[in-house]
């Protein structure tokens, strides 16, 4: 059995970069330092959610974490799909999506997995 921690960190990160979010979380149980790397989570965020307002402001937020952002975006999508208004409220309260019509439109347009019925319900209000 090979231990990933025996690899140089850059090679270990390269291996982990091929994992999906669920597998990366599982890998963090064994290779915590490598699997918690912000570069990996930043890439997963941008692939999974092509747009959110937080991408424009993250550098100004102390102790910002793309891993936490990923979890919150995932929670927001689940919340939105059961109640659009609660989902948008969650996104705005967590400063993930601003109350800017252009940002809302971009989020709706490019975010995969949003329930079309909930999108319509929100947009018709």
Q: Which residue has the higher pLDDT, 112 or 32?
A: 112
Per-residue pLDDT tens over the stretch 21-60: 778 777 776 677 777 788 888 998 999 999 999 999 999 9
Instruction: Please report the pLDDT score of residue 4 as a whole number.
Output: 65
Look at residue 77 and tell me whether its pLDDT is greater than 90. yes
DSSP 86-107: HHHHHHHHTTSS-S-HHHHHHH
Write the pLDDT tens digit of every residue in 82-110: 999 999 999 999 999 999 999 999 999 99
Q: Which of 103, 111, 108 is nearest to 123 (CA)?
A: 108
- C-alpha 121/C-alpha 125 separation (Å) is 7
């Amino acid at each position: 059995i090979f231990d990933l921690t025996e690899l140089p960190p850059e090679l270990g990160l390269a291996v982990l970069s091929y994992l999906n979010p669920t597998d990366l979380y599982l890998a963090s149980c064994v290779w915590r330092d490598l699997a918690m790397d912000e570069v990996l989570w930043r890439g997963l965020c941008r692939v999974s959610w092509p747009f959110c307002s937080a991408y424009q402001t993250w550098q100004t937020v102390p102790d910002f974490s793309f891993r936490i952002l990923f979890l919150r975006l995932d929670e927001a999508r689940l919340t939105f799909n059961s109640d659009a208004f609660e989902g948008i409220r969650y996104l705005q309260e967590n400063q993930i999506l601003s109350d800017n019509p252009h940002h809302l439109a971009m989020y709706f347009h490019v975010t995969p997995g949003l329930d079309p019925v909930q999108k319509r319900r929100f947009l018709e209000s």
